[in-house]
Chain A
Amino acid sequence: MTAKEPTITPGLVAEHGLTPDEYTRFKELVGREPTFTELGIVSAMWNEHCSYKSSRLHLRGLPTQAPWVIQGPGENAGIIDIGDGLACVFKMESHNHPSFIEPYQGATTGVGGILRDVFTMGARPVAALNSLRFGAPEHPRTRHLVAGVVAGVGGYGNSFGVPTVAGSVGFHTRYDGNILVNAMAVGIARADGIFYAAAAGVGNPIVYLGSKTGRDGIHGATMASAEFDENSGEKRPTVQVGDPFAEKLLLEACLELMQTGAVIAIQDMGAAGLTCSAVEMGAKGGLGVELDLDAVPCREEGMTAYEMMLSESQERMLMVLDPARQAEAEAIFRKWGLDFAVVGHTTDTQRFVVRHKGEVKADLPIRELGDEAPLYDRPWNEPVPQPVLDPATVAAPVSDLEALERLLGTPDLASKRWVWEQYDHLILGNTVQIPGGDAAIVRIGEGPKGLALTTDVTPRYCEADPVAGGRQAVAETWRNITAVGGKPLAITDNLNFGNPEKPDVMGQFVGCLRGISEACVALDFPIVSGNVSLYNETQGRSILPTPTIGGVGLVADVSVHATLAFKRPGEAILLVGETAGWLGQSVYLREIVGREEGAPPPVDLAVERRNGDFVRGLILDKHASAVHDLSDGGLLVAVAEMAIASGIGATLDAAPAGVPAHAFWFGEDQARYVVTVAQADVAAVTAAAQAAGVPLRRLGATADEAALQIAGEGSISLGRLHARHEAWLPDYMSKPE
């Protein structure tokens, strides 16, 4: 079948997601009328997903440097030095659009893609994390999406054989038509054994490895660069299908091949498949690339050059090999039962040439495909600040203990055990802290070092005040790592926003980035990798701005770390940090009072650092027996979680005068932790806090009785709180459709 290629019309250009201006620019670059295949290639390279055309301008200023950063943004994943000759390789990426259309496959390929990014660099994946946002629980599609996404995340990671150790799950009506599936992978490599995408040497073979190319996923990246409408279900054919088994084989074959020294450059085929990977390898190496598509292993017959260049079939890699080692490399791939085909070679022409069946289907300047991609300075509106809500004006509709019980059973605060028990979080035998804590801890090899890992963002804060919300997302990540005793080292960001062509959405993006940037600088917490997902809108309604932050910290000795469960009765419960009773944008305000309003809690980064350093010191000195950071739901929710996790109760003093009791217990002031210490250590810890200028308040003591008691407010049994906390999600998921 040699169908004549379609003639390029303005309509066809528009279908490829290019504006008339962008097409004119491309035509000038080519110097003639482009071919159909070339139009496909440029649509893949210049869409929002691949070119970052709306976001690039604003990403430039982000802090990406630190002495321990080996590789910042721009490669498959970021890399940091963790000592002992080892490097930690990690990145987070979204798979939002596909997951909404086909939740199981969308989620699996999201996990598969990010794992590939990590092992492409020579690292063996040691942990996976995720951050999921769904629509309102009562929305008719939500249950189906939760079931599919969770099964998909688990289905891929479990089979691939990486523990899924942490994550977050949230619900809000603003995600009804556009869920978020952000997946993060973390790997360990030898610092002197890292592989990059830049091709080197003229005339070296370009080798295609892994699974065969099919017609799945064509225009996937273009789909991810547009809003959804009521017909989005029709885009199901653009969703790829994941094969974790093939990826596991690809992992083992790649790592084995890398050991031989035969690999000069390697790039996985992710978004826009063969096109993006080949262009990137050539452009980064300052070389040209010539591909012969007749050699590409295909799953289907009669695939055209256009289809092969745009396929997003999964579990594929492109490598530049040392020609002297080609036979050795091929033997390794054959052993693992994977395809191995020489599909081209490097050239010194700086051109990207694609041949198929004796014809030149594309001949483009390689560097310009990336460098000359459109760059937009989109207009943006300064977000309107929300008024600060005076807690004195918020009446408490129910008693604090009743509010606590209800809060623990709300969708955002309820236990997510139903989710993480579907993820194998124990494989590899190094999960020192399993899901359910502030951050996961994964031991590196036989220890004593470990990684502290978490993903965080509070979208409602970002919506109310993007700068404060961006700051808070980074600060909370830093705090969660600190709360387990880790030293925060670096982050990856996954920026999920609506349509950037709307100045209000662009304003959220710019504001969040400013906040993220400030926090990264203040906390010495650089961004080493990331991903931008825009156009998260359906029928004109955008998601809450959701800049998910994935953080990595180092635990010097995993035998010295903190968990949130109370350890024994009779210990002092201390609150680290200042409590003004900030109810604006709190979960209490939304769930108990029924209002979503006010400015979010401010984040003082200097205080954040001071309080966190103090708490980490308590953990490393072995003074703290339990530690929990305070976030959604505030103080009483945190204390309840510590009690529920241990079965040990607590007796708390009454809230101090000057703050309404419900604001004290449920306010979401930042930079706070609850810590338990032995009674004998209270004086020393108090003196140390004073010396460090850290506010410390004694809240009460852990208790023999399995109940939570507040002086003057009564008592509630842990059994009741536990039941409420655990019931919501399984009950919800088992309801008939």
Chain B
Amino acid sequence: MKAAVIIFPGSNRDGDVAQALVQAGASVTKVWHADSSLPAGTDLAVLPGGFSYGDYLRCGAIAARAPVMDAVRSHAAAGRLVLGICNGFQILCESGLLPGVLMRNAGLNFICRRQFLRVERNDTAFTRRYAQGQAIDVAIAHGEGNFVADERTLAQIEGDGRVAFRYADRAGAVTPQANPNGSLNNIAGVYSEKFNVLGLMPHPENLIDDLVGGTDGRGLFESLLAA
């Protein structure tokens, strides 16, 4: 698996996700935002977490218009894999690759903590190493992760089974108490129509090591390698 991790000015979890990918066995190339193409043979394009362009406009709005994003859109249109984490999810929504938008957390504060997610389906390239309904323990670290979509879009996402992860409790129960940021239907991650693009707010890349919290995040990267 050849992965391209795209570096925008202000990306800061690029190293974390690269490490998770390498651990799972991928070869990783870092790609500069001003480049207009992805390396030949790229299987997976990754938009990492961070504060691209300082998040000084809407989060992800400027990065969505970076030269490299045309290449990412073509990559996705060709059915190849795209993963956006946190700021990467925001960029995917801003660039039209995923529906919805990430608003400011309902509690208005930035939140960094461990968080359980329920894996909604395990028949995608991103989740085959998890069980359906499994509660995984990962990290969140964001100020604007409140997923919002209009009623029709939301109904469509739900109807198509395009919710990847929902905020849940330890037992996998999706409850208002387990929702850290006010996201509609506790949505933590969504797929594109063809399930080849995934955006999620939480950070599986920070849970890949028993000494640093646990390894529940590995499944996502191992799934991709098995793809």
Residues on A facing B (Cβ under 8 Å): 151, 154-155, 158-161, 243-246, 248-249, 336-337, 420-432, 443, 447, 558-559
Contacts and interface: CB of A to CB of B under 8 A. Distances in A.
Contact of B50 (A161, A443, A447, A559): A161
A429 B208 contact: yes
Contacts of B10: 159, 245, 248-249
Given A245-B9, A248-B12, 20 more contacts: A151-B109, A158-B51, A160-B12, A161-B13, A161-B50, A249-B10, A337-B9, A421-B109, A421-B112, A424-B141, A425-B112, A426-B112, A426-B206, A427-B12, A427-B13, A429-B205, A429-B208, A430-B212, A431-B212, A443-B211
Contact of B212 (A154, A155, A443): A443
Contacts of A422: 109-112
Nearest to A155: B110
A176 to B, nearest CB: 25
B72 interface: no
B6 to A, nearest CB: 15
User: Which of A248, A422, A426, A443 counts the most B-chain CB atoms under 10 A from its CB?
Assistant: A426
Given A161-B50, A443-B212, A426 B56 contact: no
Contacts of B70: none
Contacts of B141: 158, 424, 426-427
Contact of B12 (A159, A432, A443): A159
A222 B54 CA distance: 30
B208 to A, nearest CB: 7
Contacts of B56: 245
A437 to B, nearest CB: 14
A248 B209 CA distance: 26
Which 7 A-B residue pairings sit nearest by Cβ, starting from the closest?
A161-B12, A245-B54, A159-B51, A424-B141, A424-B112, A426-B139, A426-B206
A420 B49 CA distance: 20
Q: By CB atoms of chain A within 10 A, which of B55, B139, B143, B212 has the most? A: B212
B166 interface: no
A249 B9 contact: yes
B211 A244 contact: no
27 contacts: A151-B109, A158-B110, A159-B55, A161-B50, A243-B54, A244-B51, A245-B9, A245-B51, A245-B53, A248-B10, A337-B9, A422-B109, A423-B112, A424-B112, A425-B112, A426-B112, A426-B206, A427-B12, A427-B13, A428-B15, A428-B16, A429-B16, A429-B206, A429-B209, A432-B211, A447-B211, A559-B211
Contacts of B9: 245, 248-249, 336-337
A729 to B, nearest CB: 12
Task: Among A243, A248, A337, find the residue whose CB has the most chain B CB atoms closer than 10 A.
Answer: A248
B113 interface: yes
Interface string B52-92: 01111000000000000000000000000000000000000
Contact of B203 (A426, A430, A432, A558): A426
Interface of B: 9-10, 12-13, 15-16, 19, 49-51, 53-56, 109-113, 139, 141, 143, 203, 205-206, 208-209, 211-213
A14 B141 CA distance: 48
A623 B15 CA distance: 36
Nearest to B54: A245
Contacts of A158: 51, 110, 112, 141, 143
A558 B15 CA distance: 21
Given A427-B13, A559-B211, A421 B55 contact: no
A558 B211 contact: yes
A245 B53 CA distance: 7
B5 to A, nearest CB: 14
Contacts of A244: 51, 54
A412 to B, nearest CB: 22
Contacts of A421: 109, 111-113
Nearest to A434: B213
Contacts of A431: 212
Nearest to A251: B12
Contacts of B212: 429-432, 443
A429 B85 CA distance: 15
A558 to B, nearest CB: 6
A650 to B, nearest CB: 24
Contact of A154 (B16, B110, B205): B110
A447 B211 CA distance: 10
Contacts of A424: 110, 112, 141
A450 to B, nearest CB: 9
A427 B16 contact: yes
Contacts of B208: 429
Contacts of B54: 159, 243-246
A151 B213 CA distance: 25
Contacts of B211: 432, 443, 447, 558-559
Residue of A161, A246, A420, A559 with most partner-chain B CB within 10 A: A161
A559 to B, nearest CB: 6
B29 to A, nearest CB: 17
Contacts of A161: 12-13, 50
A36 to B, nearest CB: 36
Residue among B12, B15, B16 with the highest chain A CB neighbour number at 10 A? B12
Contacts of A426: 112, 139, 141, 203, 206, 213
Contacts of A423: 110, 112
Nearest to B52: A245
A425 B206 CA distance: 11
A155 B12 CA distance: 14
Contacts of A336: 9
Contacts of B206: 426-427, 429
A425 B143 CA distance: 14
A336 B209 CA distance: 32
Contacts of B53: 245
Nearest to A420: B112
Nearest to B112: A424
A160 to B, nearest CB: 7
Contacts of B205: 429
A130 to B, nearest CB: 15
A255 to B, nearest CB: 13
Nearest to A245: B54
Pick the most buried of B9, B55, B111, B213: most chain A CB atoms within 10 A of its CB.
Answer: B9
A728 B75 CA distance: 51
A422 B140 CA distance: 11
B220 to A, nearest CB: 14
Contacts of A155: 110
A553 B139 CA distance: 27
A246 B9 CA distance: 9
A422 B110 CA distance: 5
A558 B10 CA distance: 30
B19 A429 contact: yes
Nearest to A150: B109
Nearest to B141: A424
B144 to A, nearest CB: 12
A600 B10 CA distance: 48
A421 B180 CA distance: 12
A161 B48 CA distance: 12
Contacts of B109: 151, 421-422
B41 to A, nearest CB: 25
A421 B141 CA distance: 9
Nearest to B20: A429
B210 to A, nearest CB: 9
Nearest to B51: A159
A421 B55 CA distance: 20
Nearest to B203: A426
Nearest to A448: B211
Nearest to B10: A245
Give the most central of B109, B112, B143: most A CB within 10 Å.
Answer: B112
A399 B50 CA distance: 50
Contacts of A159: 10, 12, 50-51, 54-55
Contacts of B110: 151, 154-155, 158, 422-424
Contacts of B143: 158
Nearest to A158: B110
